Protein backbone atom coordinates (compact mmCIF):
# COMPACT_ATOMS: atom_id res chain seq x y z
CA UNK A 1 0.00 0.00 0.00
CA UNK A 2 1.63 3.21 -1.13
CA UNK A 3 0.47 6.78 -1.53
CA UNK A 4 -3.02 7.98 -0.62
CA UNK A 5 -5.96 5.60 -0.64
CA UNK A 6 -9.46 6.73 -1.52
CA UNK A 7 -12.19 5.47 0.76
CA UNK A 8 -14.85 4.46 -1.76
CA UNK A 9 -16.96 2.50 0.73
CA UNK A 10 -17.99 5.40 2.97
CA UNK A 11 -16.15 3.85 5.89
CA UNK A 12 -12.85 4.69 7.51
CA UNK A 13 -12.22 1.20 8.86
CA UNK A 14 -13.75 -2.25 8.92
CA UNK A 15 -13.18 -5.56 10.69
CA UNK A 16 -14.39 -8.77 9.08
CA UNK A 17 -14.61 -12.15 10.86
CA UNK A 18 -11.89 -10.91 13.20
CA UNK A 19 -10.30 -13.42 15.56
CA UNK A 20 -7.60 -12.81 18.16
CA UNK A 21 -6.11 -15.69 20.11
CA UNK A 22 -3.48 -15.29 22.81
CA UNK A 23 -1.28 -18.09 24.10
CA UNK A 24 -1.19 -18.37 27.88
CA UNK A 25 0.26 -20.90 30.32
CA UNK A 26 -3.25 -22.26 30.87
CA UNK A 27 -3.89 -22.59 27.13
CA UNK A 28 -5.40 -20.47 24.36
CA UNK A 29 -7.40 -17.35 25.21
CA UNK A 30 -9.91 -16.30 22.56
CA UNK A 31 -10.12 -12.52 23.02
CA UNK A 32 -12.15 -11.95 19.83
CA UNK A 33 -14.34 -14.55 18.13
CA UNK A 34 -15.34 -13.54 14.61
CA UNK A 35 -16.15 -9.82 14.96
CA UNK A 36 -17.74 -8.06 11.97
CA UNK A 37 -18.09 -4.28 12.17
CA UNK A 38 -17.67 -1.17 10.01
CA UNK A 39 -16.80 2.31 11.25
CA UNK A 40 -18.35 4.94 8.96
CA UNK A 41 -16.41 8.03 8.02
CA UNK A 42 -17.05 10.93 10.36
CA UNK A 43 -18.90 8.84 12.94
CA UNK A 44 -18.43 8.19 16.66
CA UNK A 45 -18.75 4.66 18.04
CA UNK A 46 -18.48 3.44 21.62
CA UNK A 47 -17.39 -0.15 22.28
CA UNK A 48 -19.03 -1.15 25.57
CA UNK A 49 -19.07 -4.32 27.61
CA UNK A 50 -17.66 -5.99 30.73
CA UNK A 51 -13.95 -6.09 31.56
CA UNK A 52 -12.23 -8.94 29.77
CA UNK A 53 -14.78 -8.88 26.96
CA UNK A 54 -12.25 -7.91 24.28
CA UNK A 55 -12.70 -4.13 24.05
CA UNK A 56 -9.04 -3.18 24.43
CA UNK A 57 -7.97 -5.97 22.06
CA UNK A 58 -10.39 -4.75 19.39
CA UNK A 59 -9.14 -1.17 19.75
CA UNK A 60 -5.49 -2.26 19.60
CA UNK A 61 -6.09 -4.13 16.34
CA UNK A 62 -8.13 -1.25 14.90
CA UNK A 63 -5.30 1.16 15.75
CA UNK A 64 -2.79 -1.25 14.10
CA UNK A 65 -0.93 -1.77 17.38
CA UNK A 66 -1.71 -5.50 17.37
CA UNK A 67 -2.36 -8.04 14.63
CA UNK A 68 -5.38 -10.29 14.24
CA UNK A 69 -4.99 -14.06 14.40
CA UNK A 70 -7.53 -14.39 11.58
CA UNK A 71 -9.95 -12.23 9.63
CA UNK A 72 -9.56 -8.97 7.72
CA UNK A 73 -8.69 -5.44 8.81
CA UNK A 74 -9.51 -2.66 6.34
CA UNK A 75 -8.35 0.92 6.73
CA UNK A 76 -9.08 3.78 4.32
CA UNK A 77 -10.26 1.35 1.67
CA UNK A 78 -7.21 -0.94 1.80
CA UNK A 79 -6.73 -4.39 3.32
CA UNK A 80 -3.93 -3.96 5.85
CA UNK A 81 -4.27 -7.35 7.58
CA UNK A 82 -0.92 -8.63 6.34
CA UNK A 83 0.72 -5.27 5.60
CA UNK A 84 4.43 -5.05 6.46
CA UNK A 85 5.50 -3.21 9.60
CA UNK A 86 6.82 -0.27 7.58
CA UNK A 87 3.32 0.37 6.16
CA UNK A 88 1.67 -0.06 9.55
CA UNK A 89 4.14 2.38 11.12
CA UNK A 90 3.39 4.98 8.44
CA UNK A 91 -0.36 4.58 8.95
CA UNK A 92 -0.04 4.85 12.73
CA UNK A 93 2.04 7.98 12.30
CA UNK A 94 -0.10 9.80 9.74
CA UNK A 95 -3.62 8.35 9.74
CA UNK A 96 -4.37 7.15 13.30
CA UNK A 97 -4.43 8.96 16.63
CA UNK A 98 -4.22 6.68 19.68
CA UNK A 99 -5.27 7.53 23.25
CA UNK A 100 -4.04 4.78 25.62
CA UNK A 101 -5.93 3.81 28.75
CA UNK A 102 -2.95 5.06 30.78
CA UNK A 103 -2.51 8.52 29.26
CA UNK A 104 1.06 9.04 30.51
CA UNK A 105 2.17 6.29 28.10
CA UNK A 106 1.30 8.54 25.15
CA UNK A 107 2.87 11.78 26.38
CA UNK A 108 6.36 13.28 26.18
CA UNK A 109 7.29 13.79 29.87
CA UNK A 110 10.05 16.33 29.19
CA UNK A 111 7.83 18.65 27.12
CA UNK A 112 5.22 21.12 28.34
CA UNK A 113 1.52 20.71 27.56
CA UNK A 114 1.64 22.99 24.52
CA UNK A 115 4.93 21.45 23.35
CA UNK A 116 3.30 17.98 23.52
CA UNK A 117 0.62 19.17 21.12
CA UNK A 118 3.08 20.85 18.79
CA UNK A 119 5.18 17.67 18.74
CA UNK A 120 2.10 15.53 17.97
CA UNK A 121 1.20 17.87 15.11
CA UNK A 122 4.75 17.74 13.77
CA UNK A 123 4.84 13.93 13.83
CA UNK A 124 1.42 13.73 12.16
CA UNK A 125 2.42 16.17 9.44
CA UNK A 126 -1.07 17.66 9.07
CA UNK A 127 -2.13 21.30 8.90
CA UNK A 128 -5.95 21.09 8.75
CA UNK A 129 -8.29 20.71 11.68
CA UNK A 130 -7.84 21.98 15.24
CA UNK A 131 -4.76 24.01 16.09
CA UNK A 132 -2.99 23.24 19.41
CA UNK A 133 -4.36 26.35 21.13
CA UNK A 134 -7.90 25.51 19.98
CA UNK A 135 -7.59 21.98 21.34
CA UNK A 136 -6.31 23.24 24.69
CA UNK A 137 -9.31 25.55 24.96
CA UNK A 138 -11.76 22.77 24.08
CA UNK A 139 -10.26 20.48 26.72
CA UNK A 140 -9.99 23.20 29.40
CA UNK A 141 -6.17 23.10 29.58
CA UNK A 142 -5.20 26.59 28.43
CA UNK A 143 -4.13 27.58 31.95
CA UNK A 144 -1.79 24.53 32.10
CA UNK A 145 -0.06 25.16 28.76
CA UNK A 146 3.39 25.64 30.33
CA UNK A 147 3.25 22.69 32.75
CA UNK A 148 4.93 19.34 32.10
CA UNK A 149 2.83 16.14 32.33
CA UNK A 150 4.39 15.24 35.68
CA UNK A 151 2.86 18.37 37.21
CA UNK A 152 -0.64 17.54 35.96
CA UNK A 153 -3.33 15.63 37.81
CA UNK A 154 -4.48 12.28 36.46
CA UNK A 155 -7.54 13.87 34.89
CA UNK A 156 -5.47 16.63 33.30
CA UNK A 157 -3.09 14.04 31.84
CA UNK A 158 -6.08 12.20 30.39
CA UNK A 159 -7.40 15.37 28.78
CA UNK A 160 -3.91 16.17 27.46
CA UNK A 161 -3.69 12.73 25.81
CA UNK A 162 -7.04 13.40 24.14
CA UNK A 163 -5.89 16.88 23.11
CA UNK A 164 -2.77 15.43 21.49
CA UNK A 165 -4.91 12.99 19.52
CA UNK A 166 -7.34 15.65 18.33
CA UNK A 167 -4.78 18.29 17.32
CA UNK A 168 -4.91 18.24 13.51
CA UNK A 169 -6.88 15.01 13.95
CA UNK A 170 -6.22 12.32 11.33
CA UNK A 171 -8.74 10.00 9.66
CA UNK A 172 -9.13 7.69 12.66
CA UNK A 173 -9.08 8.50 16.39
CA UNK A 174 -9.02 5.47 18.73
CA UNK A 175 -9.37 6.07 22.48
CA UNK A 176 -9.33 3.52 25.30
CA UNK A 177 -11.56 4.72 28.19
CA UNK A 178 -10.92 8.46 27.58
CA UNK A 179 -13.39 9.71 30.23
CA UNK A 180 -12.72 7.16 32.98
CA UNK A 181 -10.96 9.52 35.42
CA UNK A 182 -12.93 12.68 34.70
CA UNK A 183 -15.67 14.57 36.51
CA UNK A 184 -18.88 15.40 34.66
CA UNK A 185 -17.76 18.77 33.27
CA UNK A 186 -14.47 17.46 31.92
CA UNK A 187 -16.05 14.26 30.57
CA UNK A 188 -18.44 16.48 28.63
CA UNK A 189 -15.47 18.50 27.33
CA UNK A 190 -13.86 15.32 25.98
CA UNK A 191 -17.07 14.05 24.38
CA UNK A 192 -17.79 17.47 22.83
CA UNK A 193 -14.24 17.65 21.44
CA UNK A 194 -14.62 14.20 19.88
CA UNK A 195 -17.91 15.32 18.32
CA UNK A 196 -16.14 18.39 16.92
CA UNK A 197 -13.46 16.42 15.07
CA UNK A 198 -16.04 13.83 13.92
CA UNK A 199 -18.13 16.61 12.41
CA UNK A 200 -14.99 17.69 10.53
CA UNK A 201 -14.57 14.18 9.06
CA UNK A 202 -12.50 12.14 11.52
CA UNK A 203 -13.85 8.78 12.65
CA UNK A 204 -13.77 8.27 16.43
CA UNK A 205 -13.91 4.88 18.15
CA UNK A 206 -13.67 4.61 21.92
CA UNK A 207 -14.12 1.95 24.55
CA UNK A 208 -16.02 2.91 27.66
CA UNK A 209 -17.81 1.71 30.78
CA UNK A 210 -18.87 5.32 31.40
CA UNK A 211 -22.67 5.78 31.35
CA UNK A 212 -22.13 9.43 30.37
CA UNK A 213 -20.47 8.33 27.13
CA UNK A 214 -23.08 5.62 26.53
CA UNK A 215 -25.84 8.23 26.78
CA UNK A 216 -24.02 10.89 24.76
CA UNK A 217 -22.81 8.88 21.75
CA UNK A 218 -25.47 7.75 19.26
CA UNK A 219 -23.83 4.44 18.29
CA UNK A 220 -22.92 1.91 20.97
CA UNK A 221 -21.68 -1.61 20.22
CA UNK A 222 -21.75 -4.17 23.04
CA UNK A 223 -18.90 -6.69 23.14
CA UNK A 224 -19.22 -9.76 25.40
CA UNK A 225 -16.89 -12.76 25.48
CA UNK A 226 -15.21 -11.52 22.30
CA UNK A 227 -18.46 -11.36 20.31
CA UNK A 228 -20.54 -8.32 19.32
CA UNK A 229 -23.89 -8.90 21.00
CA UNK A 230 -25.90 -5.77 20.25
CA UNK A 231 -25.89 -2.32 18.66
CA UNK A 232 -27.79 0.59 20.14
CA UNK A 233 -28.65 3.74 18.27
CA UNK A 234 -31.06 6.62 18.54
CA UNK A 235 -31.22 9.83 20.56
CA UNK A 236 -29.17 10.59 23.64
CA UNK A 237 -32.03 9.57 25.96
CA UNK A 238 -31.81 5.93 27.06
CA UNK A 239 -35.58 5.43 26.96
CA UNK A 240 -35.72 6.31 23.25
CA UNK A 241 -32.87 4.00 22.19
CA UNK A 242 -33.44 0.73 20.38
CA UNK A 243 -31.27 -2.34 20.63
CA UNK A 244 -30.31 -4.38 17.58
CA UNK A 245 -28.82 -7.83 17.99
CA UNK A 246 -25.73 -8.47 15.87
CA UNK A 247 -25.58 -11.54 13.64
CA UNK A 248 -22.03 -12.42 12.63
CA UNK A 249 -20.86 -13.94 9.34
CA UNK A 250 -21.34 -17.47 10.73
CA UNK A 251 -24.99 -16.76 11.54
CA UNK A 252 -24.41 -16.55 15.29
CA UNK A 253 -26.50 -14.21 17.42
CA UNK A 254 -25.59 -13.30 20.99
CA UNK A 255 -28.43 -12.33 23.31
CA UNK A 256 -28.16 -9.53 25.84
CA UNK A 257 -27.89 -10.60 29.51
CA UNK A 258 -31.52 -9.52 30.05
CA UNK A 259 -32.75 -11.63 27.13
CA UNK A 260 -30.52 -14.55 28.09
CA UNK A 261 -32.26 -14.74 31.47
CA UNK A 262 -35.43 -15.81 29.61
CA UNK A 263 -33.67 -19.03 28.57
CA UNK A 264 -32.34 -20.59 31.81
CA UNK A 265 -31.87 -23.96 30.13
CA UNK A 266 -29.79 -22.36 27.35
CA UNK A 267 -32.14 -23.84 24.73
CA UNK A 268 -34.63 -21.99 22.53
CA UNK A 269 -37.47 -22.99 20.24
CA UNK A 270 -37.30 -21.02 16.99
CA UNK A 271 -40.20 -20.39 14.63
CA UNK A 272 -40.54 -18.40 11.42
CA UNK A 273 -43.90 -16.59 11.53
CA UNK A 274 -44.92 -14.14 8.80
CA UNK A 275 -41.32 -13.35 7.96
CA UNK A 276 -40.31 -12.90 11.60
CA UNK A 277 -38.04 -15.06 13.76
CA UNK A 278 -39.60 -15.88 17.12
CA UNK A 279 -37.52 -17.37 19.95
CA UNK A 280 -39.21 -18.98 22.93
CA UNK A 281 -37.98 -21.04 25.84
CA UNK A 282 -38.92 -24.71 25.31
CA UNK A 283 -41.79 -25.95 27.44
CA UNK A 284 -40.71 -28.04 30.41
CA UNK A 285 -40.97 -31.77 29.77
CA UNK A 286 -41.90 -32.44 33.41
Q: Is 222 exposed, middle or buried (0-12, 13-18, 19+ CB in 10 A)?
A: buried
Query: What's the farthest any 2 CA atoms get from each other in the chain?
Result: 74
Rounded-to-integer distance, Cα 170 and Cα 201, Å:
9
What is residue 131's predicted lDDT score, i.e. its pLDDT? 96
Q: Cα–Cα distance between 85 and 93 in angstroms, integer? A: 12
pLDDT digits (tens, 9 = 90+) for 64-96: 999 999 999 999 999 999 999 999 999 999 999
CATH 3.40.50.300 fits 11-254, yes or no: yes
Q: CA–CA separation, 212 vs 191, rounded Å? A: 9
| Segment holding 242, helix H or strand E | strand 242-245
**How far from chain centre, in Å, is Cα 219?**
11
CB 61 within 8 A of CB 275: no
Share of the chain above pLDDT 70, in %: 81
**Beta strands, E only, 41-111:** 44-48, 70-75, 78-79, 96-99
Q: Would you say 44 and 218 are in contact if contact means Cβ atoms under 8 Å apart?
A: yes
Amino acid 275: pLDDT: 65
Q: Residue 282 — pLDDT band, cuts 50, 70, 90?
A: confident
Residue 254 confidence (pLDDT): 64
* Domains in the chain: boundaries: 11-254, 257-286
Question: What pLDDT band is residue 51 in, cutting at 50, 70 and 90?
Answer: confident
Listed residue (51, 63, 74, 43) closest to 195, CA to CA: 43
Within 8 A by CB and 6+ apart from 116, the residues are 107, 108, 149, 160, 164
For the ranges 48-52, 156-160, 280-284, which has the lowest average pLDDT? Answer: 280-284
* pLDDT for residue 249: 59
What mean pLDDT, rounded, does the chain reach? 86
pTM equals 0.81
- Bridge-based pairing state of the strands 203-207 and 172-176: parallel
**208 within 8 A of 179, measured Cβ to Cβ:** yes
Amino acid sequence: MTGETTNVTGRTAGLSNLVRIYRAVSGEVHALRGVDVDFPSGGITVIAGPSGGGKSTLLSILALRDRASAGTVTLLGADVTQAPQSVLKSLRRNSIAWVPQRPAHGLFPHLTVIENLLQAACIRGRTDGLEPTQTLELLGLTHRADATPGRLSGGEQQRLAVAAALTHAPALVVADEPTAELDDDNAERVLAALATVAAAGSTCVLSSHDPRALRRVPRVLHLRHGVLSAERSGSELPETRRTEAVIDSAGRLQLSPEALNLFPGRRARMELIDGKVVLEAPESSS
